[in-house]
Amino acid sequence: MNERANELVKLLAQDCSSMQDVQEMLKNLFKGTVEQMLEAEMDEHLGYEKHSPLGDLSGNSRNGYNQKTIQTSMGKTRINIPRDRNGDFEPELIEKYQTKSNDLEKQIIAMYAKGMSTRDIEDHLRDIYGVDASAALISRITDKILPQMTEWQSRQLDAVYAVVFLDGIVFKVKKDAKVINKCVHSVLGITLEGKKEILGIWITENESASFWTTVCNELKNRGAEDILISCHDNLKGFSEAVNAVFPKTEQQLCIIHQIRNSTKYVSYKDLKAVMADLKTIYQASSEDDALYRLEELGEKWTQKYPQIYKSWTENWADLATFFKYPAEVRRIIYTTNAAEGFHRMLRKYTKTKPVYPSDEAVKKSVYLSVQEIAKKWSMPIKDWGIIMGQLMIFFEGRLSLKVG
């Protein structure tokens, strides 16, 4: 390090006759260093080095440069930022709208939000940028978003949500020197504008009516006065909690989960036939037709698989909610696919972290992932105008003061 410093001093002495010359040379050195780092990031993004034959037919390649002026302690410097042909290269060193060069903490949080573990970030900073940052330091830096996360979890909600979906995803967490499963439950709401929004996340080891009542009361205390329809996977105690806090809310059990649960012990040779008979139920044109198909299924399969007919009849009140609605509404509420789709995206961001050291670490990771995922939810869901028109008819009086 001393040798490099001495070489720099000699170079400055030879080529610089004023402080302005010194500053200009340092700016040029900074510019060259940053641009080399950006080229290294592009190599990593593409998976091959510049001019390498590995890039042939790879599906993506370099595509010139964009320029950006950033403010440094030595003044403004114009940086050439490489771009790729697919247009999805986003350098970690200089973010899309970054204008200053001293945002290391933001870089670390951004990498953490995109699913990198603290150890991966440590290696990345050292290999790409030559920065030594311990896993403990990275963890402390990412802890700085905890107040922001708490504020998000307690933010004011809309007065009315058209639909909410309840579902959970399991993470492994250390507790008392053991690794246990913790379920992160998320509430995904559809606003009256047809946009998706995660209303909150809650961690628990065991579901119960009291747990779900706490969740529902929290939603209400944050401003949610009414929920038109709630969709869930027959979560233990959830129906009772919703009835207690939002008594007007219609409930719809997920048909896909109901099928999985009721066919769990059907033999493989009968599964195709049973699934075909179940399909005639949930694709029926009306509830009366569906009940007729259910009776047919009962007569055909009850002797061999009594649990199927028993499960469907016991849960029928909440399974049959969607039959009164048109196809556009049915498509949304008959399954919790919206929540499961969110969890699939969430798993992409968290798959590099097989075990979390604490509940706080899980919340931090999930919260940052939610912020990334929510960036893609800028548009209303398909056919929302038709859906909203139907909901205004079915829920007359509950929406008239909230829309427009």
* Cα–Cα distance measured from residue 89 to residue 47, given in angstroms and rounded to the nearest whole number: 12
DSSP 8-class letter at 54: G
Residue 179's identity, in one-letter code, is V
Q: Which residue has the higher pLDDT, 329 or 6?
A: 329
As a whole-number percent, the residues of the chain with pLDDT over 70 amount to 85
Q: Where are the domains of the chain?
A: 1-98, 103-153, 157-394
Q: Residue 43: pLDDT above 80?
A: yes
pLDDT of 100? 46
Which H, E and C letters describe 191-231, residue by residue? Answer: CCCCCEEEEEEEEECCCCHHHHHHHHHHHHHCCCCEEEEEE
* Cα–Cα distance measured from residue 250 to residue 71, given in angstroms and rounded to the nearest whole number: 55
Q: Residue 335 corresponds to which tokens in the numbers above?
A: 């399954």
Residue-wise pLDDT for 74-97, tens only, equals: 567 788 888 888 888 888 776 644
Which residues partner with 33 through β-bridges?
A: none
Under 8 Å between Cβ of 183 and 167: no
Q: Which residue has the higher pLDDT, 62 or 75?
A: 62
**Mean pLDDT for the chain overall:** 84
Which residues partner with 178 through β-bridges?
A: 175
pLDDT of 73? 55
> pTM of the full predicted structure?
0.69
* Cα–Cα distance measured from residue 253 to residue 313, given in angstroms and rounded to the nearest whole number: 13
**CB contact set of 299 (below 8 Å; sequence gap of 6+):** none
* Cα–Cα distance measured from residue 201 to residue 68, given in angstroms and rounded to the nearest whole number: 38
Helix axes 359-374, 337-350, angle to 10 degrees: 110
How big is the CA angle at 332 (ends 326 and 334), to the nearest 5 degrees?
Answer: 85
Residue-wise pLDDT for 368-381, tens only, equals: 899 989 999 999 99
Residue-wise pLDDT for 239-291, tens only, equals: 899 999 999 999 999 999 999 999 998 999 999 999 999 999 999 999 999 99
Q: Which residue has the higher pLDDT, 26 or 332?
A: 332
pLDDT-derived band at 403 (thresholds 50, 70, 90) equals: very low
Measured in Å, how far apart are the chain's first and last C-alpha atoms? 66
Residue-wise pLDDT for 84-134, tens only, equals: 888 888 887 766 445 444 456 777 777 777 777 777 777 777 766 566 667
Average pLDDT over residues 222-226: 95
Query: Which range in 143-147, 152-156, 347-351, 400-404 is most confidently predicted, on average pLDDT?
Result: 152-156
* Cα–Cα distance measured from residue 33 to residue 80, given in angstroms and rounded to the nearest whole number: 11
* Cα–Cα distance measured from residue 122 to residue 138, given in angstroms and rounded to the nearest whole number: 8
pLDDT of 1? 47
Q: Residue 229: pLDDT above 80?
A: yes
pLDDT-derived band at 401 (thresholds 50, 70, 90) equals: very low
Q: Residue 6 corresponds to which tokens in the numbers above?
A: 């001495």
pLDDT of 234? 79
* Cα–Cα distance measured from residue 134 to residue 83, given in angstroms and rounded to the nearest whole number: 30
Which residues partner with 62 through β-bridges?
A: 84
